[in-house]
Amino acid sequence: MNKKVEYTRLIKEKAKELGFFYTGISKADFLEEEAKKLEDWLKKRHHGQMAYMENHFDKRLDPRLLVDGAKSIISLLLNYFPKEDIEENNDGLKISKYAYGEDYHFVIKKKLKKLLEFINIEIGEVGGRVFVDSAPVMDKVWAKRSGLGWMGKNTNIINPKSGSYFFIAELILDIDLEEDGPIKDYCGSCTKCIDACPTEALTSYKLDASKCISYLTIELKSQIPSEFKGKMDNWIFGCDVCQDVCPWNRFSKPHNQENFDPHIKLVKMSKADWEDISEEVFREIFRKSAVKRTKYDGLKRNIKFITNY
């Protein structure tokens, strides 16, 4: 067996052992097709106030500028579909499923570092970096290129066996590995995600992030525009509508990652509890959570905007 095939097998086996349920590999190359799309998206201001999206334009499109001599991108998926939907217990106020438990950045980064350590031990000294949604890497594009799913009309990666409730992470390495090719798009004529979007942020395969509830409740630091009154569908952090209605998510199965289980107090939160939440309770429940990104004042802003219309 040649080294490229053997290295690829070892890496995928280790990734599975670490809890990633899919691993795909693509060639580290310039994203020519995405360059024009990204430029147009930014020109139309669809990124809203996310000024960081304008930074490192060249690095977003060429991973070789992030890792010297980069040859392969390993894309990995980690399931976060919950065992239970906590919104059923709290009078309808909702937070996105990905934020139920511990912040995924920390959970995944630990796993990736273990995988990189394994690679250096089993294969030899390899140059590389780990990425978890915190650097100019177009993770969905690389996941698509490596055959982990297709880019759905809701702009999420959809895996035909497991839906779309997963985190995407990458290892960019300076060694050649066996590449996986992209798979077919199976959205067909379905428009459920577009039809269900409460703020009409979606058109086919395009997202105007400045209208997206996830953006409005997390990324937007100023007041939520009044035009969205009555359109937030009770989401106080993030939004899962375009995933909840996607027929492919009937294949989603609960994760087995204890870190992603919700805090016991979060499960029991009523609408009144949310409205009266103190900074002390916020810190207790969300001490290790991605919800910290919106900060206490941001969460209070979201709750007030939704409950006072």
Kindly list the catalytic residues.
133
> What is the C-alpha to C-alpha distance for residues 176 and 192, in angstroms, rounded to an integer?
40
- d(CA 14, CA 9) in angstroms, rounded, equals 9
Q: Are 239 and 68 in contact (CB under 8 A)?
A: no
Q: Is the CB of residue 112 less than 8 Å from the CB of residue 132? A: yes
Distant-in-sequence, close-in-space partners of 154: CB < 8 Å, separation ≥ 6: 164, 193, 194, 202, 207, 242, 243, 246
- Would you tell me how many other CB atoms lie within 10 Å of the CB of residue 90? 20
